[in-house]
A and B are shown apart, each in its own frame.
Chain A
Amino acid sequence: MQKSWRQRFHLPAVIGTIPMILVAVGVFVIGIGFSVLWSFTSSKLFPTYDFVGLAQYRRLWADNRWLVSVNNIWFFGLMSITCNMVFGYLLAVFMDQRIRQEDLFRSIFLYPFAMSLIVTGLVWQWVLDPNLGLQETMRNLGWSSFSFAPLVDANTAIYALVVAGIWQGSGVTMAILLAGLRGVDEEIWKAARVDGIPTWRTHVSIVAPMMKGAFATAFVLQSVGVVRVYDLVIAMTGGGPGIATSMPAVYVIQLITVRQNVGQGMAAATMMLLPVLIVLALAGLVLWRRNRVQEAGV
């Protein structure tokens, strides 16, 4: 009895993983638990345990700033993931044409990813700055009616964020998808060519479906980035003009620091967690079913 207990519970292994236990349980279970708990209280600057039911959620969904933030994250997420995928795939396909200087192109496409999103945000803020960037330059070149200042217009500022997001992230998508493309068997291309299928058709109907893994990887990487987008907004627009480019991540931080409304901030944070939980649960279910099918097959 003693021995089997020791085998199952090697003390050094437990001691060595104390940091992991603390992080997994302490931060990702208890921490999140407290966040959710505080979302049901009227906490202001400091947490209290004065429960108010769903009042914070009602107030949250009545707050225009939050509604704008939610709209923005959907729009930004769909736009930037779609553009990133399309542009990244195009880049990967063109890179795969036995081109010269492949390494040079790869370095150029990928280097923005090495930089901080703060840097990315500032760079694009300048390029699009009406008094300094493209607009001023074109006007100085003699096109005096040229008008291009997306960042100062509440309707277009979010497109500027999308462009900056593409600039930063599509190189990675390219790299992952290129790896996927190179993993596709050469024979498949030959077979498709023999059958007289046009190249674009081979890409869309045969090769792309075979790269499911690479697409999934790129997609996961980007989705996680989209939910967390904070630095880019802060550096580029600060959430403005007005509240036009506010995002949930920015909203939560503002509530717990500047506006000192922890209860409502935690309600917003819980709302951010909800879609992630749903997606993870679905993914877990799919994996579990697949495992069961495999076991049944054996």
Chain B
Amino acid sequence: MSAVQTTASRPMQEAPDQATPFGPKPRRISAGRIGIYAFLIVAALFFLIPVYIMVVTSLKGMPEIRLGHLFNLPGDPTFQPWADAWLHACTGRDCNGLSPGFYNSLKITVPSVVISIICASINGYALTFWPYKGANLLFGLLVFGAFVPYQVVIYPLIIGLSSVGLFATLPGIIIVHTIFGMPILTLLFRNFYAAMPVELFKAARVDGAGFWRIFIYIMLPMSVPITVVAVILQVTGIWNDFLFGIVFAGRSNWPMTVQLNNIVNTTTGVREYNVNMAATILTAAVPLVIYFVSGRWFVRGIAAGAVKG
């Protein structure tokens, strides 16, 4: 975590306005410098080209795509494929586009994120300040759960959820996301609270505050940074989920990723590449926006989750 923060703080020092040079004087442009930039630019192209292809193709009409010039800019840009992807693209017999999937993803993601973070913050708090007998064993099991292949737990969960009538329902998929988010989030919150001064907690105890009071009035207001990391982690994770969605959500609640895959991979007849690519961009849009808005927090979330695992 600390190593990540060092990187986070450094570019801020390096970002004074252009007028005042910073650091050692740049050497003359040498072959080495050119090599460095050449490597980085080629690498950047590798990362950018697939998305460039998607964007330009989604703006072309099908006749233009059949000409087979993948890299050309659209001669006659049209947003029709985007509208079709959102409203009319077909999965099997129903042609309602991606929009139902988008709303399903919202309905799944928002409650899952809220519930899983509430659970995990209480877990982390209890584990740090109120460890009862066996609590650390529970935590160990939870951490173990972070490494378990999902396939080992999926079937028992299907059986368990159907025995209480929650299989293939919205609450069912929310529970599943809460379960699988819990290990990493609990780890995150526990590490965060463990780094807090204990005196804070002790002082509140002396003043007679109990478990919930300390949590709500002292810990929660101080947990904003870690909560931001947790929200980023969970929103992108749950929005991008495919496996749990297809297994646990049920046909009427299928999230966007599942609908996207159905639209693209089960089309009968002509493959409408432009519509498919527009649909793909739409599905990727939410996590991408979060990524570009959150910037460094995003990396910090990934690293913080893994570093102490």
Query: Chain B, 278-309, contact with A by CB distance < 8 Å: what is the 0/1 string?
Result: 00100110011011100000110011001101
* 21 A-B pairs whose Cβ atoms sit less than 8 Å apart in the complex: A12-B130, A17-B122, A20-B186, A23-B142, A32-B152, A35-B156, A98-B23, A103-B11, A110-B291, A113-B302, A116-B241, A118-B257, A119-B260, A119-B280, A123-B53, A137-B69, A176-B303, A183-B2, A238-B265, A248-B149, A257-B247
Given contacts A94-B40, A103-B11, A114-B291, contact A28 B145 (CB under 8 A): yes
Number of interface residues of B (CB under 8 A): 100
Which chain B residue lies CB-closest to A109?
B47
**A180 in the interface, Cβ–Cβ < 8 Å?**
yes
Chain B nearest Cβ from A220, distance in angstroms: 6
Query: Chain A, 206-248, contact with B by CB distance < 8 Å: what is the 0/1 string?
Result: 0000000110010011001001101100110010000000001
| A171–B306 CA distance with the chains assembled, in angstroms | 15
B122→A16 contact, CB < 8 A: yes
Query: Chain B, 75-113, contact with A by CB distance < 8 Å: what is the 0/1 string?
Result: 000000000000000000000000000000000000000
Query: Chain B, 227-263, contact with A by CB distance < 8 Å: what is the 0/1 string?
Result: 0000000001001111100010000000001001100
| A38–B47 CA distance with the chains assembled, in angstroms | 44
| A105–B122 CA distance with the chains assembled, in angstroms | 38
Given contacts A35-B155, A273-B148, contact A140 B260 (CB under 8 A): no
Given contacts A8-B133, A35-B156, contact A108 B47 (CB under 8 A): yes
Chain A contacts for B37, CB-based, 8 A: 99
Chain B contacts for A238, CB-based, 8 A: 265
Which B residues lie at the A interface, using CB under 8 A? Answer: 2-4, 6-7, 10-11, 14, 23, 36-37, 39-40, 43-44, 46-51, 53-54, 57, 65, 67-71, 119, 122-123, 125-127, 130-133, 135, 138-139, 141-142, 144-160, 178-179, 182, 186, 210-212, 215, 236, 239-243, 247, 257, 260-261, 264-265, 273, 276-277, 280, 283-284, 287-288, 290-292, 298-299, 302-303, 306-307, 309
| A179–B145 CA distance with the chains assembled, in angstroms | 27
- Known interface pairs A17-B135, A176-B302; 18 further A-B residue pairs with C-beta atoms within 8 A, sorted by A's residue number: A14-B132, A16-B126, A16-B211, A19-B123, A20-B123, A23-B145, A28-B141, A28-B153, A38-B155, A94-B36, A108-B48, A117-B242, A119-B284, A182-B7, A231-B243, A248-B151, A272-B151, A276-B149
| A110–B292 CA distance with the chains assembled, in angstroms | 10
A234→B261 contact, CB < 8 A: yes
A270→B288 contact, CB < 8 A: no
Chain A nearest Cβ from B178, distance in angstroms: 7
Given contacts A47-B159, A167-B46, A224-B147, contact A115 B288 (CB under 8 A): yes
A114→B298 contact, CB < 8 A: yes
Give residues 105-139 of A contacting B (CB, 8 Å): 105, 107-119, 122-124, 126-127, 132-134, 136-137, 139
Chain A nearest Cβ from B121, distance in angstroms: 10
B126→A17 contact, CB < 8 A: yes
* Most B-side CB within 10 Å, residue of A23, A102, A217, A249: A23
| A14–B130 CA distance with the chains assembled, in angstroms | 9
Contact among B39, B158, B288 for A114, CB-based, below 8 A: B288
Which chain B residue lies CB-closest to A163?
B46
Give residues 6-26 of A contacting B (CB, 8 Å): 8-10, 12-14, 16-17, 19-21, 23-26
Given contacts A13-B211, A117-B242, A262-B155, contact A213 B48 (CB under 8 A): no
**A60 in the interface, Cβ–Cβ < 8 Å?**
no
A273→B149 contact, CB < 8 A: yes
**A34 in the interface, Cβ–Cβ < 8 Å?**
yes
Chain A contacts for B70, CB-based, 8 A: 132-134, 136-137
Closest 6 CB pairs of A and B: A12-B211, A116-B240, A114-B291, A13-B130, A31-B156, A252-B151
Given contacts A227-B149, A280-B147, contact A8 B50 (CB under 8 A): no
Chain A contacts for B182, CB-based, 8 A: 19-20, 23
Which chain A residue lies CB-closest to B305?
A221
Chain A contacts for B236, CB-based, 8 A: 114
| A62–B241 CA distance with the chains assembled, in angstroms | 32
Query: Chain A, 49-60, contact with B by CB distance < 8 Å: what is the 0/1 string?
Result: 000000000000
**A85 in the interface, Cβ–Cβ < 8 Å?**
no
Given contacts A27-B157, A273-B152, contact A182 B6 (CB under 8 A): yes
Chain B contacts for A127, CB-based, 8 A: 49-50, 53
**A265 in the interface, Cβ–Cβ < 8 Å?**
yes
Chain A nearest Cβ from B296, distance in angstroms: 9
**A95 in the interface, Cβ–Cβ < 8 Å?**
yes
A179→B4 contact, CB < 8 A: yes
| A126–B264 CA distance with the chains assembled, in angstroms | 11
**A266 in the interface, Cβ–Cβ < 8 Å?**
yes
**A2 in the interface, Cβ–Cβ < 8 Å?**
no
Chain B contacts for A252, CB-based, 8 A: 151, 154
| A175–B304 CA distance with the chains assembled, in angstroms | 12
B68→A116 contact, CB < 8 A: no
